[in-house]
Structure 1
């Protein structure tokens, strides 16, 4: 969109926050860049230049606006609704791959050359992977400076900088303030459990929290997840250690409280929490298209802004999807809890009742089939999935090509359309994943007067593309099921 100057100017003049994160406005006279919804008086159109990323603004010599804080906006919805090279690269950069593995590691995961990845990102985003990762490090550094009492040297390395000098230089360049000045301007950090960080996760309005938090709470695996004091809490397996997060729905932001064993995991933890709650979605674009169907329009108007509940660990969700085949929500939770107690890594939770990390595929590789209270065919399905994940025959992650992952899953025994599409929707993040064979979907379709056979419903749903996963949330919401309601 940033190439459509007239449209961008109108968005800036209207202070339209729907476009925050979609493009950035750089002001040539002040050398400052802002988000479109910046509350300041809009600059004259002739002084505006538009960029597709904060990194591109920084590379061009602009610094972040101190008033609208453009680095803290929701991410572009583009990266969660596409599966091309650029979108997969951005998801991996958000997951900290460049900081941990460098550009060679990013290219290797994407199965492209470094030169191809660099060229594609520069063409579409105006910056290469190193600059994009640097912009992300700057944002992480600011969060740590403003929300913790950590020493600046510790923050530098926790944010991913190679040296304190590069940390100081980057913070001054991006924010036009020294790290100490940033801390002096911020409210005093809250105290609490050692290593606790409290922050806000922004999103594009509207956001209806009922289905996303209701789904996560109703399907929570004991020991790994819980609903406590108005917050969804869960354990996180992270690159350098583990974490515990509490996510609290709010009208303007999601409250996020993180306890990390290693501060270097902050960026990854935030990225995964945003993905879990689908916070980078564009609800206006989604809802506008779904309203075009007269039978869906009343559902959208009644509770707009539904999100798709996703996951913080793709392999975990795939295992849970198999455990949930043809059983109730309660039975699926029971099966998963048994695996957790037997094979999950124990953790300490100073603020709640969480006890374990969900077991990795490697931990499940030694699983005794006789210990599973499952039918023989489902045991085979689960053990085959674990073997493929462990051996590398199946890759489920931010780098996954959605169609390739579907084909790989379909080749495994016991993986039918329902399981494959559930994984595509919640683990891979495909916004167009669709479950026409789901009983809840068919019941809702019949109730609304939509076609309710899988083939006929799929044909009708062609008009909902590429947002069929969101249409699914609206259809499920017609049922009186705990997944559709915010817990008391």
Structure 2
């Protein structure tokens, strides 16, 4: 990736937080790298180097700043927007695929050779997939060191390192401190509730919290997700087990309190929470494009930073989209709740609990789970997997036979790997394969592309609420005319959709 020195230096000189995560600043005289907004540096031009990734800075021998913690900066919004190989690879690396399947697994998912993938990532980001995954492992390890009482050897393997020696060397190299020194600086075991990990998920301001939480609350499935005050909680299914998370917005970060069945799932859990709340978006770029339209200008000025609520489970979102065809939101919730109960993934009600929640589920037996698993899991369950849904009896669905058949066909295709709804999916290919299934048209496929696989430029001109919102804002409400008008909102038409839904 080509970085313009003058533009980057101006951002650093003004400590502009909008550029955090876009690039990283390394200072040759100190040997450290920082985020652009770091208050600790005012570097001379001749001492500055700019890198497109933390991994590239580490690869060049720089260590992370202890004050601004550049590894905790928001992710680059470029990886949300881009649908090419590099964007897909970055989303999969963030989800921990390299730690679980290695570079061969990543390359296989993307359909390219390891050599070609390494060449492209190095050209764009200054580091290959192994180095990018290593940088993420170091961040995961630091969080576990500073916020849990797990033993350092347990943390090494939970973070994805192959050995304690590799773990010690990487932490020393990246943070210029041994793991024991990092622990002394942290507050291990200092949580009010044992068995949880609390992390701060940074984002670029502004973030319109009411629209985000309101959207999720309206569609919340009882027993899987809930909103209490300013906190949204839900159950998760992760690569190594189940988990729950409580997400509470604060100034410039989201507080995420995770209860994991297996601590190896910390990195994918964080990635999925970031995706759910659309935290890596660039709201200034989005609002500048949408606000340039007179019809949207007032709404953008009144509610800056509206995000696209996404998902933590692509299959779940696809089922929601199918069930929601031509029924009300309330009706879809009732049908989905019935399906989840039939699948048996929702914890049984606990009569002792005033909220009807269940007692803790049995802990994971994983060696890496340590004291966190011993604390058990929360009362919220997770959405059933594709394999489970495919085998449910007819009476579990509570919907017309045609729609039931569509969900079964989708579940079978996802379970068999014929349809990819993961973060690194090829967006165009996924939409095409969805539309091949009977009962899935352009609206459903587009909705899945927007919320499940993160396409920022989806538009649904036939959606009734979208047309009502357009009419309320003085825009054409006929689908063809509205679609033509929406061309000026590219590449952020998904964000325009959310605003039209709000206007309705």
Question: TM-score when scaled to structure 2?
Answer: 0.92
Q: What number of residue pairs does the alignment pair up? A: 479
Determine the structure 2 residue equivalent to 1:446: 471
Determine the structure 2 residue equivalent to 1:226: 226
Q: Which runs of 5+ in 2 are unaligned?
A: 348-357, 361-375
Counterparts of 2:390 and 2:430 in 1: how far apart (Å)? 21
| Alpha-carbon distance, 1:44 to partner | 0.7
Taking only aligned residues, the RMSD between alpha carbons, in angstroms, comes to 1.5
Determine the structure 2 residue equivalent to 1:379: 404
Give yes or no for contact 1:204–1:283 (8 Å, CA) kept in 2: yes
Determine the structure 2 residue equivalent to 1:51: 51
Give yes or no for contact 1:55–1:127 (8 Å, CA) kept in 2: yes
Determine the structure 2 residue equivalent to 1:321: 321
Counterparts of 1:344 and 1:281 in 2: how far apart (Å)? 35
Give yes or no for contact 1:226–1:354 (8 Å, CA) kept in 2: no
Counterparts of 1:229 and 1:466 in 2: how far apart (Å)? 33
After superposition, where does 1:177-188 map in structure 2 within 5 Å? 177-187=177-187
Give yes or no for contact 1:190–1:198 (8 Å, CA) kept in 2: no
| Alpha-carbon distance, 1:393 to partner | 2.1
Determine the structure 1 residue equivalent to 2:365: none
Determine the structure 1 residue equivalent to 2:392: 367
After superposition, where does 1:249-288 map in structure 2 within 5 Å? 249-288=249-288
Counterparts of 2:230 and 2:471 in 1: how far apart (Å)? 34
Determine the structure 2 residue equivalent to 1:17: 17
Determine the structure 1 residue equivalent to 2:451: 426
Give yes or no for contact 1:225–1:354 (8 Å, CA) kept in 2: no
Counterparts of 1:352 and 1:123 in 2: how far apart (Å)? 42
Determine the structure 1 residue equivalent to 2:421: 396
Determine the structure 1 residue equivalent to 2:492: 467
Question: TM-score when scaled to structure 1?
Answer: 0.95
Which string of whole-angstrom CA distances, capped at 9 and with x for unpartnered residues, describes residues 196-237 of structure 1? 111211000011111221111111111111113531111110
Which string of whole-angstrom CA distances, capped at 9 and with x for unpartnered residues, describes residues 120-149 of structure 1? 000000000000000000000111111111
Counterparts of 2:332 and 2:237 in 1: how far apart (Å)? 21
1:8 and 2:36 are equivalent in the alignment = no
After superposition, where does 1:338-377 map in structure 2 within 5 Å? 338-346=338-346, 350=360, 354-377=379-402
Which string of whole-angstrom CA distances, capped at 9 and with x for unpartnered residues, describes residues 242-285 of structure 1? 11000011222111100001111001100000001000000011
Which string of whole-angstrom CA distances, capped at 9 and with x for unpartnered residues, describes residues 158-206 of structure 1? 1111111111111111011111211222245433444211121100001
Q: Secondary structure at the match of 1:393?
A: coil
Counterparts of 1:410 and 1:264 in 2: how far apart (Å)? 36
Determine the structure 1 residue equivalent to 2:430: 405
| Alpha-carbon distance, 1:353 to partner | 7.4
Q: Secondary structure at the match of 2:232?
A: strand
Determine the structure 1 residue equivalent to 2:502: 477
More displaced, 374-383 or 273-282? 374-383
| Alpha-carbon distance, 1:383 to partner | 1.7
Determine the structure 2 residue equivalent to 1:142: 142
CA change 1:30–1:407 in 2 (3 A) is: same
Q: Secondary structure at the match of 2:82?
A: coil
Give yes or no for contact 1:33–1:65 (8 Å, CA) kept in 2: yes
